[in-house]
A and B are shown apart, each in its own frame.
Chain A
Amino acid sequence: GDSVTQMEGPVTLSEEAFLTINCTYTATGYPSLFWYVQYPGEGLQLLLKATKADDKGSNKGFEATYRKETTSFHLEKGSVQVSDSAVYFCALSDLETSYDKVIFGPGTSLSVIP
């Protein structure tokens, strides 16, 4: 079945450091890909998405490019802030094989220290 794999955390960075969180997926069909963010004590929020190969999703300084050839959707940010401390989830939705069901990766916890 479809699945998402993420790099294990926790990840700890200093403020203004470069962030990469790796994400790879397995899907039968042609999925849409997402990054969600969960701040402490809150629900998940959609951070960015991409629906076809080579699309780049971007939001709040975060970017991720849909790479079909490597089945990857890595999240990057050039300069992290303390307020970016959260858990980040890579996810996919494959309408061909699972009606509107979003499958989440295990999440990567990020802590940014001043």
Chain B
Amino acid sequence: DTAVSQTPKYLVTQMGNDKSIKCEQNLGHDTMYWYKQDSKKFLKIMFSYNNKELIINETVPNRFSPKSPDKAHLNLHINSLELGDSAVYFCASSQIYGYTFGSGTRLTVV
């Protein structure tokens, strides 16, 4: 069984569109995250939720809005997509030490 699952795996869209990426974890973890990985493999945290409550909100444009309907889900909605949003987005969850990552969503904005 997949522990942290993200959908879709690939997303190609035009500039200006709005898109969502979904994430679900079946590990019973309290904390979930979104990370962005750029073309040079650099990982940067975007958001962190603990039991549906926003804990970390790094310097991310307002066009990015996370939503956590329950502690097993953390979705990422992006408005007015820009070319610079192209990246791989990873969802992760954790309980104490160490993350469990999803396999990533490769977003390409054209």
**Min CB–CB distance A45 → chain B (angstroms):** 7
CB of A44 within 8 A of CB of B97, answer no
Q: Which of the candidate stretches A17-25, A64-72, A74-82, A93-101 sits at the interface with the other chain?
A: A93-101
**Min CB–CB distance B103 → chain A (angstroms):** 5
CB of A109 within 8 A of CB of B41, answer yes
- Asked if B25 is an interface residue, CB under 8 A from chain A, the answer is no
Given known pairs A44-B101, A46-B99, the reply for A101 and B43 (CB within 8 Å) is: no
CB of B41 within 8 A of CB of A87, answer yes
CB of A107 within 8 A of CB of B97, answer no
CB of A43 within 8 A of CB of B90, answer yes
Residues of A within 8 A of B92 (CB): 43-44
Across the interface, name the chain A residue whose C-beta is closest to B9. Answer: A41
What is A's interface to B at a CB cutoff of 8 Å? Answer: 32, 34, 36, 38, 41-46, 49, 51, 87, 89, 93, 98-104, 106-107, 109
Apart from A99-B50, A104-B42, what 17 extra A-B contacts exist at CB < 8 Å?
A: A34-B97, A34-B98, A38-B41, A43-B90, A43-B92, A45-B101, A46-B99, A87-B41, A89-B43, A93-B97, A99-B55, A100-B55, A102-B45, A102-B99, A106-B40, A106-B41, A107-B41
What is B's interface to A at a CB cutoff of 8 Å? Answer: 4, 31, 40-43, 45, 48, 50, 55-56, 90, 92, 94, 97-104
Can you identify 26 A-B contacts, CB atoms within 8 angstroms? A34-B97, A36-B99, A41-B103, A42-B103, A42-B104, A43-B4, A43-B90, A43-B102, A43-B103, A43-B104, A44-B90, A44-B92, A44-B101, A46-B98, A46-B100, A51-B97, A87-B41, A89-B43, A98-B56, A99-B55, A100-B94, A102-B45, A102-B94, A106-B40, A106-B41, A109-B41
